[in-house]
């Protein structure tokens, strides 16, 4: 196993109450923080510990497999229990998706804590966690990528590290991970554009200001046609009655480039048309919209409960509730556009217009919150729904073809061939 000097120094010097590893993606910070936590499990005074992530699912994906790989039989994970035991020490597993998670750590005292993606943890939860680390010898080990420079972690701890006696901050970059090949690092750099590049490659705490897709360029990202045929189609829907309703049809083929393209759009703005449509009318429009295409998945705005019910009741379409992770969805779409895998046909004028005007909310920025302005965002939401719901791999935080193929097997029950065509079920006419 290779370690960089930065990793070794952070391991040795992470001896204060609060120890933060911050920086670029895949820079080796999470790996060494995990080893430091394991060392603390073995050497700390008696007491319980805790592992914290944005959800229990995130902990099981991002932390437990690596823990098990390192510790093997020294770690015992009891299925159904929200805890693991390492060398006889109890370690609780807690998901902290929102402020309500505070109650899960009110009361106990912890001698150690490992926090994955601490910038996504609510501030009040962190303050409560810090108060639970009150015993002599207690330590917290946390990792994150940079976010807004107004984020509480940046303003309250990182910016004040020189005056705070109980805080360590270790800054990491891609070159601090000795296991990465140069070719891989260059490919990773090409995946990110604009603000995302500054945060996840350069490791900067920068503002989400101006345009969300500030790198979008019609000459690059808009095409007249695709040199090839789709072997699967998916649809994304942002539902609206008083607001606009948008359908997007995306073609997929991983044997050509681009791999994903938005082939056509449907856009009904009831304010401009001066007439609202019913759920049944939208359902009929969707059937016409999909007609003649091998549509395997239709991802619908999860808040549109009545419309989802209508579609399942009256159409043969494969309907799914879309995943509505706003920032992860935006970031994923940005990666697909930035690395050339996603393109938009010129006739999708509403989508193109919305992308060009999609902006960050300046009021939220000052609160340290990245949030887009909620106006003229119906087609861009539909784009986010279909890309993020269908193609996003939580483990790699990106598109991965092997994951995509496994997804098809899980939906359609086919065998293990790598021929992507066998994962497709017939469309309808």
* 3 state DSSP class of 288: helix
pTM of the predicted structure, to 2 decimals: 0.81
**Angle 5-13/29-43 helices, nearest 10 degrees?**
30
- Is pLDDT above 90 for 428? no
**Domain C-terminal end among 180, 203, 237:** 180
Domain identity same for 224 and 168: no
User: Based on the structure, what is the number of domains in the chain?
Assistant: 2
Domain identity same for 235 and 135: no
pLDDT grade for 398, boundaries at 50, 70 and 90 = low
Q: What is the DSSP string of 320-371?
A: EEPP--HHHHHHHHHHHHHTTSEEEETT-HHHHHHHHH-BB-HHHHTTT---
- Is pLDDT above 80 for 401? no
Residue 342: which domain range?
218-423
Number of CB atoms found within 10 A of residue 8's CB:
11
Mean pLDDT of all residues in 213-229: 94
Q: What is the pLDDT of residues 352-394, one digit of tens each?
A: 999 999 999 988 888 888 999 999 999 999 999 999 999 987 6
Q: Are 345 and 222 in contact (CB under 8 A)?
A: yes
Domain identity same for 332 and 230: yes
Q: What is the pLDDT of residues 245-276, one digit of tens each?
A: 999 999 999 998 899 999 999 999 988 888 99
Where b means 16+ CB within 10 Å and e means fewer, 230-264 reads bbbbbbbbbbbbebbbbbbbbbbbeeeebbbbbbe
Task: Give the C-alpha separation, 146 to 204, whole Å.
Answer: 6
pLDDT grade for 410, boundaries at 50, 70 and 90 = very low
Does 194 fall in a domain? no
Mean pLDDT of all residues in 278-283: 96
User: Shortest CA distance to 323 belongs to which of 389, 248, 377, 250?
Assistant: 389
Domain identity same for 259 and 334: yes
Domain identity same for 156 and 247: no
Does 138 fall in a domain? yes
Domain identity same for 175 and 260: no
**Domain C-terminal end among 160, 180, 200:** 180
CATH (domain of 76): 3.40.50.300
Q: Is the peptide bond before 258 cis (omega within 30 degrees of 0)?
A: yes
How much is the pLDDT for 400? 53
Phi, psi dihedral angles at 291 (to 5 degrees): -55, 130
Torsion of CA 55, 56, 58, 61, to 10 degrees: -170
Residue entry with tokens 């120890």: 19
How much is the pLDDT for 209? 87
Q: Are 355 and 361 in contact (CB under 8 A)?
A: no
Does 240 fall in a domain? yes
Domain identity same for 128 and 276: no
Cα Rg, the chain, nearest whole Å: 23
Length of the chain: 429
CATH (domain of 315): 3.30.420.280
Domain identity same for 158 and 249: no
Q: For the ranges 47-51, 252-256, 343-347, 420-424, which has the lowest average pLDDT?
A: 420-424
Q: Are 192 and 338 in contact (CB under 8 A)?
A: yes
Does 16 fall in a domain? yes
Task: Give the C-alpha separation, 199 to 25, whole Å.
Answer: 9
């Amino acid at each position: 196993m290779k370690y960089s000097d930065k990793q070794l120094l952070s391991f040795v010097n992470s001896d204060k109450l609060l120890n933060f590893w911050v920086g670029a993606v895949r820079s080796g910070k999470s790996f060494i923080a995990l080893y430091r936590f394991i060392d603390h499990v073995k050497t700390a005074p008696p007491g319980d510990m805790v592992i914290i992530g944005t959800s229990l699912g995130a902990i099981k994906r991002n932390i437990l497999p690596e823990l098990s790989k390192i510790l093997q039989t020294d770690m015992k994970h009891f299925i159904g229990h929200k805890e693991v035991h390492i060398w006889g020490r109890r370690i609780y597993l807690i998901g902290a998706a929102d402020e309500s998670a505070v109650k899960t750590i009110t009361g106990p005292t912890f001698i150690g804590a490992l926090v994955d993606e601490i910038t996504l943890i609510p501030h009040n939860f962190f303050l409560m966690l810090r108060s639970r680390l009150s015993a002599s010898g207690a330590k917290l080990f946390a990792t994150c990528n940079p976010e807004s420079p107004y984020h509480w972690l940046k303003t309250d701890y990182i910016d004040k590290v020189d005056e705070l006696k109980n805080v360590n901050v270790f800054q990491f970059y891609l070159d601090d991970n000795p296991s990465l090949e140069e070719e891989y690092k260059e490919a990773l750099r090409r995946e990110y554009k604009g603000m995302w590049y500054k945060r996840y490659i350069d490791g900067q705490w920068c503002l989400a200001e101006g345009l969300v897709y500030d790198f979008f360029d019609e000459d690059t990202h808009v095409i007249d046609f695709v040199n090839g045929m789709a072997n699967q189609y998916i649809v994304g829907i942002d539902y609206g009655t008083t607001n606009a309703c948008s359908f997007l049809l995306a073609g997929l083929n991983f044997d050509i480039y681009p791999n994903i393209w938005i082939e056509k759009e449907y856009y009904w703005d009831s304010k401009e048309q001066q007439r609202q449509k019913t759920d049944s009318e939208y359902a009929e429009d969707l059937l016409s919209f999909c007609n003649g295409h091998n549509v395997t998945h239709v991802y619908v705005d999860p808040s549109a409960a009545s419309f989802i019910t209508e579609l399942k009741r009256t159409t043969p379409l494969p309907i799914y509730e879309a995943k509505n992770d706003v920032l992860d969805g935006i970031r994923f779409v940005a990666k697909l556009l930035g690395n050339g895998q996603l393109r938009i046909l010129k006739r999708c004028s509403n989508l193109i217009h919305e992308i060009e005007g999609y902006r960050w909310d300046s009021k939220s920025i000052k609160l340290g919150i990245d949030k887009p302005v909620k106006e003229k965002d119906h087609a861009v939401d539909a784009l986010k729904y279909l890309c993020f719901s269908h193609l996003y791999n939580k483990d790699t935080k990106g598109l991965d073809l092997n994951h995509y193929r496994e997804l098809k097997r899980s939906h359609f029950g086919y065998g293990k061939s790598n021929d992507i065509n066998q994962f497709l079920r017939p469309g309808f006419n």
